[in-house]
Amino acid sequence: MKKAIGLLFLLMSIPTVNAQMVKFGLKAGANFSNLEGDNVEGSTYTSFHFGAVLELKLLENLSVQPELLYSSQGTKVNSAAFDDINYNYITVPVLAKFYLTGKKLSLEAGPQFSFLVNENVEDQFEGETFDFGLAAGLGYNITDHVFVQARYVAGLTEASKNAEVTNRVMQVSLGYRF
């Protein structure tokens, strides 16, 4: 009950937060992914991601940026006997964002929590339901509203129940903040 009351007070205080301190946006882009590890000989799998971004300014040059994304990733399999591997996740990266040059260029890094929502090869390469990784990259604010990002995500937990493999994803995004 105390947690619920605390959450209610937090939610009630959000409208009074300065608009300069909280920015909401949407983003989408391309994924270039691969599975790395045993029993997988594949090449880069090209797919997509999209979702919502929230930036909370903590200091002049430091923000926290949690995101909620749908991300399709996997690997192209170089064998006619197997299908390409495709895992679809709801990902939640929580990034520290350090502005290097005023309000334009930023370095972003932090953990990413991924939850498997579906897969195309459950009988060959059944995916794990949870994937934890680290993300790092750069962001650039083209205008006050339009931004681009490039990010590398390295999975730290096994992505498959059938093999010791981890996700590797390069993401390029275009976004808009309201």
Residues 97-115 have pLDDT tens digits of: 999 978 899 999 999 999 9
Q: Which contiguous run of DSSP H or E holds residue 175?
A: strand 165-177
Q: Between the ranges 33-42, 60-69, 79-88, 118-127, where is the mean pLDDT highest?
A: 60-69
Judged by DSSP in three states, 143 sits in: coil
**Is the pLDDT at 146 greater than 50, yes or no?**
yes
Give the CA distances from residue 69 to residues 32, 74, 84, 89, 149, in Å, rounded to whole numbers and listed in that order. Answer: 15, 16, 22, 8, 14
Query: CB of 154 within 8 A of CB of 125?
Result: no
Strands 85-101 and 105-119: antiparallel
Per-residue pLDDT band for 16 (boundaries 50, 70, 90) equals: very low
Confidence at residue 11, expressed as pLDDT on a 0 to 100 scale: 47
Per-residue pLDDT band for 19 (boundaries 50, 70, 90) equals: low
- What mean pLDDT is predicted for residues 13-24? 66
Collect all residues with Cβ–Cβ distance below 8 Å to 129 and sequence separation of at least 6: 115, 116
Domains detected in the chain: 19-177 (2.40.160.20)
Confidence at residue 121, expressed as pLDDT on a 0 to 100 scale: 79
**Is the pLDDT at 54 greater than 60, yes or no?**
yes
